[in-house]
Amino acid sequence: MVSDTVTVAESEINAVAVDEGHGSIMELQQELRNIEEPSNSLTPVHSLPDELLAHIFAICQVRTKGEKPYLWLNVIQVCRRWSQVAHSAASLWTTIGVYGHPEWLSHCMVLSKGMPVDIEIRDPRCNPESLLAVLRPHVGIIRSLTVISVLWLPIIEQLLKMGMCSLEKLHMLQFQWPCFARMGPIDVGLLPRLHTLSIAGLAAPSAPSTYKNLHVRAHGITIP
């Protein structure tokens, strides 16, 4: 009788253990389904619409300080469609870094399709005259211009006299010392949107009228 009672008790314990084990398995299976369901609902990248792809490329375009502006261009080498989407999105070509190739500048100006552009000329080896020929037809859409090298000063002055109606920011930087160059007078009447003038390493324009309605950043120089 005692043996039968023990056997029944063991059977009940085993049954409870089996039920608990089955319940644990069910819970694990449900957790697995919860993990798999979002993965199954993700849209394959090749099925994304062009507009969303272009937005993703724009996110890739955001760079940290010191990065060259064209690291994101790796995306156009992935496949033909990505290349077509990138080349058709004008906003992706509005930040233009010039590193000695006027052909590249011209190519980007075409792809920007008339949108305001931000141009950075950071290579002092660039031929100013060759780049001037590219920039001259587009002076009206240049929103900001950053130039490193006093060699560009005569070219910048020519561009400013053409009436850069969209120019908001002008950065002139010269890191080779000593430098005795001075920017000539700036006719702010030809630059209705200009609000920031950043100068480093060369003398600022002497005419007080230059600084009317401007935010001026002068690095290591005295504003007259």
pLDDT per residue as tens digits for the range 161-206: 888 899 999 888 765 555 556 677 778 788 888 888 887 766 667 6
Q: What does the pLDDT average to over 68-76?
A: 70
Q: Residue 117: what pLDDT? A: 94
pLDDT at site 97 = 83
Q: Is the same domain home to 103 and 186?
A: yes
Residues 112 and 203 in one domain: yes
5 has pLDDT over 70: no
Whether 171 and 143 have beta carbons less than 8 Å apart is answered as no
Whether residue 215 lies inside any domain: the answer is: yes
CA 100 to CA 123: how far, in whole Å? 6
Q: In this structure, is residue 10 part of a structural domain?
A: yes
pLDDT recorded at residue 143: 95
Rounded Cα distance between 211 and 202, Å, is 16
Q: Is the dihedral of CA 45, 51, 56, 61 positive or negative?
A: positive
Q: Is residue 34 part of a domain?
A: yes
* Residue 94 DSSP code: S
113 and 203 both lie in a single domain: yes
Over the chain, what is the mean pLDDT? Answer: 75
Which position has the higher pLDDT, 109 or 155? 109
Residues 26 and 117 in one domain: no
**Residue 140: inside a domain:** yes
The pair of three-digit structure tokens given for residue 29, joined into one six-digit string: 């299976």
Lowest mean pLDDT: which of 83-92, 100-109, 168-177?
168-177
14 and 103 housed in the same domain: no
Looking at the fold, whether 125 and 30 belong to one and the same domain comes out as no
Q: What type of residue sits at position 50?
A: D
Asked whether residue 86 is assigned to any structural domain, the reply reads no
Residue 21: inside a domain? yes
Token match 């608990």: residue? 20
pLDDT in tens, 6-32: 454 555 555 555 556 566 677 766 776
50 located within any domain: no
* Chain centroid, CA 189 distance in Å: 31
Give the number of domains in the chain: 2
Same domain, 30 and 125: no
What is the band of 224 on the pLDDT scale with cuts at 50, 70, 90? very low
Conformation bin of residue 100: beta by default, left when phi > 0, alpha when psi is -120 to 50: left
Please check whether residues 215 and 117 belong to one and the same domain. yes
Shared-domain flag, residues 104 and 208: yes
| Shared domain check, 208 and 98 | yes
Q: DSSP of 164-210, one letter per residue?
A: -TT--EEEEE--SSS---B-----GGG-TT--EEEEESSBPP--GGG
**Per-residue confidence band for 110, with pLDDT thresholds at 50, 70 and 90:** very high
- 210 domain residue, yes or no: yes
pTM higher than 0.85, yes or no? no
Determine the average pLDDT of the residues in 49-75: 74
DSSP letters along 19-84, please?
HHHHHHHHHHHHHHHHHHHHHHHSPPGGGS-HHHHHHHHHHHH---TT--TTGGGGGGGT-HHHHH
pLDDT digits (tens, 9 = 90+) for 130-157: 888 888 999 999 999 988 877 777 888 8
102 and 13 housed in the same domain: no
Instruction: Note whether 173 and 146 are within 8 A (CB).
Output: yes
- Domain check: are 5 and 108 in the same one? no
What pLDDT sits at residue 126?
72
Domain extent at residue 150: 94-219
Query: What percent of the chain is modeled with pLDDT above 90?
Result: 12
pLDDT of residue 6: 46
pLDDT higher than 60, residue 56:
yes
CB contact set of 71 (below 8 Å; sequence gap of 6+):
63
